Chains A and B, each alone.
Chain A
């Protein structure tokens, strides 16, 4: 089961869960994913120890997609 989560003030919120074999769940996840990107969130997937990549389309096979806020110099 793959998960789309958003880091927020609750710790994190699970926005969608899907398996690649469930097109309805995938469609819902893609919609949720795009809605959050529209709002300004950035989507990240881990690609191994110490590595992460930003993605602009939902990687359906990824077990975990994390939405983060942008950063800026403090």
Chain B
């Protein structure tokens, strides 16, 4: 029996997080602002304490330096948490990896395929911004300032009956799962995923594994060159 396709616009997984506001440009700006305030909330008190200590007692310089170190390290730890979402996970056997990368290659264009081969990340242009999709998460560069939003999201093998075939997926398949979900409903994807970091791109870049940094640069550059694409 043949039947026609009936597209579903909303990602069904979004129903599991029905209490979350659906992510859009305004929501991203709001979240970015909250993260900036949080960062300032960590940095300003430590920096102020360091200044005050030195002003009151110059001999307290070592303590003041420790305060400044805290002011620097805490945002760096958040950025590291963000970078962790795109770090490579375990590898499957060679043949499944090869087949999975082949399928992923069929889903993306030549440039994205080449970038994935070099960095392990797939660049995807969306309406909210430019995405870098990894095996267990994605980074969104949003807005004129290209603020980085790091989302942790996984393929949920427990969601299928008996789990057959849903064991340890090859890396290419994990990316393809996330990519298809992202393409089906970008806002739903960002709603389902857990935001682990939002902040300056430079801060995230420092915490990314070195081979992945060109992907972040390419994503930022693509915002400069791309034209608005209706979705």
Contact = CB atoms under 8 A, between A and B. Distances in A.
B17 A73 contact: yes
A66 interface: yes
A32 interface: no
Contacts of B6: 55-57
Contacts of B194: 73-74
A69 B2 contact: no
A12 to B, nearest CB: 5
Size category of the B interface is 35 or more
Main secondary structure of the interface of B (DSSP, over half): mixed
Interface in B180-217: 180-181, 183-184, 189, 192-194
Interface of B: 1-8, 11-13, 16-17, 85, 92, 95-100, 102-103, 106-107, 109, 124-126, 136-137, 152-157, 159-162, 165-170, 172-173, 176-178, 180-181, 183-184, 189, 192-194, 229, 231
Interface of A: 5-13, 20, 23, 26-27, 30, 38-42, 44-47, 49-60, 62, 64, 66, 68-74
